[in-house]
Amino acid sequence: DAKTTQPTSMDCAEGRAANLPCNHSTISGNEYVYWYRQIHSQGPQYIIHGLKNNETNEMASLIITEDRKSSTLILPHATLRDTAVYYCIDYRYGNKLVFGAGTILRVKS
């Protein structure tokens, strides 16, 4: 079973920042925070990951609280193509990825 908890769904206006929260209540010290998304009728797509520090890449930013019990994925300027299911995962190297139900993000014009 997935270890993380996420809201079932969220809406975001096109062009605004989308902030997707995730709770990692049982994350251990050697587990990374990974984010994936799954656009309708496609396979999941890796977005970003981090351990303690905030991370940014061309797709998104990842904010991890100091106690690592929560994280936020930020899409700075959401577009309609960002409508997808977003998954956060606690991952230890060498283990398997365990996906929960994720958050359905709807970007609306």
Partner 1 sequence: EAGVAQSPRYKIIEKRQSVAFWCNPISGHATLYWYQQILGQGPKLLIQFQNNGVVDDSQLPKDRFSAERLKGVDSTLKIQPAKLEDSAVYLCASSPPGQGLGEQYFGPGTRLTVT
Question: Of the candidates 19, 32, 61, 106, which one interacts with partner 1 according to CB under 8 A?
Answer: 32
Tokens of 79: 């577009």
Q: Are the C-beta atoms of 3 and 24 separated by less than 8 Å?
A: yes
Query: How many chain residues touch partner 1 (CB under 8 A)?
Result: 21
Residue 50 found at the interface with partner 1 (CB under 8 A) = no
Give the residue with the Cβ less far from partner 1, 54 or 77. 54
Give the whole-angstrom CA distance, residue 99 versus residue 101: 7
Give the whole-angstrom CA distance, residue 77 versus residue 92: 30
Give the residue with the Cβ less far from partner 1, 81 or 96. 96
Give the whole-angstrom CA distance, residue 41 versus residue 30: 33
Q: 82 to 101, contacts with partner 1 by CB under 8 A?
A: 87, 91, 93-94, 96-101
Question: Of the candidates 22, 62, 102, 105, which one interacts with partner 1 according to CB under 8 A?
Answer: 102
State the CB neighbour count (10 A cutoff) for residue 100: 15
- For residue 59, the minimal CB distance to partner 1 (Å) is 13
Helix (H) or strand (E) holding 99: none
* Residues of the shown chain interacting with partner 1 in the complex, contacts defined by CB under 8 A: 2, 32, 34, 41-46, 49, 87, 91, 93-94, 96-102
